[in-house]
A and B are shown apart, each in its own frame.
Chain A
Amino acid sequence: MADTLGIKATPPGMNVEIVNARSLSFSSSHEMHKIKKQGENQPQAAFEVFHGLNYWPFFLHYRDGIRTAGQASRQNLKTGHATLFTYYYIFYERSLL
């Protein structure tokens, strides 16, 4: 184990006392990405979603089921497509400072 402090949980069938850090369900020693906002946009070109964090967040962006770039400003996520649905997860965690 990486350490023995804090709260740790494993998936079923694993011994929390001997499992590697990477196999833990969660651990208070390792930060998890916290989701600020998740959503779906119907086809609409140049659509922007307001996140309001005032910094650049990490995000995942999918267009019609394919992971694509998307673009985040300090206040918005540029998403949207003229003919395809788009989907996103915006995290609290910062991208570049």
Chain B
Amino acid sequence: MINYGMSITKFGKNVLSDTDPLSYVFTSKFNTLKIWKVIERPITVPTSGIGHAFYTHGFGYKPAYLAYYQLDSDRSNNWFVDRTAIGSSLGNNTLDRRASTTVNSDTIDFSIEDANGEGGYLARVICFIFVDPIQNIFPTTNGIGKNNDYGIKVSAPGIDVTKAKTHELFISSKYPGLKFHMDKTVRLTIAAGGTYGSIKFEHGLGYPPAVIGMVEDFNNTTLHDSIPFGRVPQPAAESIESDKDFITVYVTTIVSGSDITYTMKVIVFKDKISVN
């Protein structure tokens, strides 16, 4: 039971008595990721080396983020999750097309390389930058500074909501949260000797949505890894692609000796991969 703040339970669950956090649509008892801004940057992918784009957020701390990369000039509105490593033909196991993001306390560095020498085109990245820090920060850190004084706000326990800095709020109607659309469990078997495969499902939104995913570790099923997972020299790699109709999960097996089944779960959000 949560007896203070603001809580909404799912249909059929009693907000006055239910103690399971999973019964709640949201509750001010628990923090949520809040989107500060969605930004887009072009990246020129060179034929050799790494192409970069930078963005200055100026928070004074490292914020959480989710970045999505357009990795092929012919697929202008298809977006791969951050830290993807995938074959240039989006199927082979060379893992030569790679995207990566590094956040620092004031800037974010987006990069793409094509180790197969097939660069020479203009790619794009779209990044959800969250208000919420990934690092521990000093109480004196201002971050984004004072919030506006209207809308719905709930601060972290022990923080006066009228004086709270933006990153000290659990809920603020000024900043959108990621809103759940659907989840899907998919299984993909790569036969012995095979090197890659993909599986897709429809999401029904009509625009490319933000996604995150998890995969059951094929070496140890008691462990689950977050996707994207792996790049050389690890034995497998997974990535997720989002377009206006489908979510496609790619698996690349770098070392293949027997049939391997990959079990993955993808969460699709309502939030569009777009700056608009």
Contact = CB atoms under 8 A, between A and B. Distances in A.
Interface string B164-188: 0000000111111111110001000
Interface string A55-97: 0101111101111111111100010000001011100111110
Contact of B222 (A6, A7, A11, A73): A73
A92 B25 contact: no
B185 to A, nearest CB: 6
B52 interface: no
Contact of B177 (A10, A32, A64): A32
A60 B31 CA distance: 14
A8 B272 CA distance: 18
Contacts of A11: 173-176
A20 to B, nearest CB: 8
Bin the interface of chain B by size. 35 or more
A59 B265 CA distance: 12
Contacts of B100: 66
Nearest to A31: B180
A20 B25 CA distance: 19
B229 interface: yes
A33 B104 contact: no
Contact of A69 (B21, B62, B207, B225): B225
A21 B136 contact: no
B81 to A, nearest CB: 9
A59 B176 contact: no
Contact of B179 (A27, A61, A93): A27
Given A9-B173, A67-B82, A69-B228, A34 B265 contact: no
A35 interface: yes
A34 B27 contact: yes
Nearest to A8: B173
Nearest to A78: B223
Bin the interface of chain A by size. 35 or more
A66 B180 contact: no
B265 A95 contact: yes
A33 B177 CA distance: 9
A40 interface: yes
A54 interface: no
Given A74-B222, A95-B224, A35 B31 contact: yes
A73 B223 contact: yes
A41 B67 CA distance: 23
B32 A35 contact: yes
A30 B172 contact: no
Given A62-B103, A67-B101, A26 B173 contact: yes
Q: Which 3 A-B pairs have the closest CB atoms?
A: A9-B173, A30-B179, A87-B134
Interface of A: 6-7, 9-12, 21-36, 38-40, 56, 58-62, 64-74, 78, 85, 87-89, 92-96
Given A9-B173, A25-B176, A60-B226, 13 more contacts: A22-B270, A23-B176, A24-B179, A25-B151, A25-B177, A26-B32, A26-B176, A31-B25, A34-B32, A67-B228, A69-B227, A72-B224, A73-B222
29 contacts: A6-B8, A10-B173, A12-B150, A22-B207, A22-B272, A24-B176, A25-B173, A25-B174, A26-B173, A32-B32, A33-B178, A34-B26, A35-B30, A38-B31, A38-B132, A40-B136, A56-B224, A60-B66, A60-B212, A65-B62, A65-B102, A67-B67, A69-B225, A70-B226, A71-B223, A73-B224, A93-B22, A95-B214, A95-B265
